[in-house]
Amino acid sequence: METSVFEAIIDRKIPSDIVYEDQDFIAIRDLHPKAPVHLLVIPKKRSPRLDAIESEAELGRLFATAIKVARQNLSDFRLVVNCGPAAGQEVFHTHIHVLGGWKT
């Protein structure tokens, strides 16, 4: 399997604006934001897409981390997961988009 851009970021081979990191996850600012605040929460353990993660515990930790990152940066937010190319997934390493910051 080809190395993804996210693996290169995790391995510090390419720079990124990291907003959160722990042993299992990293969160970065998206280079091509679709909202005033657009973060990506990425598991360090690679899986090509969300439905490839079979462990409910891992899925729960991924979503709990995405919510934690969202709450640290936003009061209101949207979580988005693109699962497969027909759904808009461009990088085949599971990740959750955290979007927000729109004015009401």
Q: Are 27 and 21 in contact (CB under 8 A)?
A: yes
* Token pair of 25 as six digits: 């996850």
Does the annotation count 95 as an active-site position? Answer: yes
CA dist 67 and 72 (Å) reads: 9
Q: How many CA atoms lie within 13 A of 20 on its CB side?
A: 18
Single out the catalytic residue among 38, 93, 95, 97.
95
Q: Tell me the catalytic residues.
A: 95
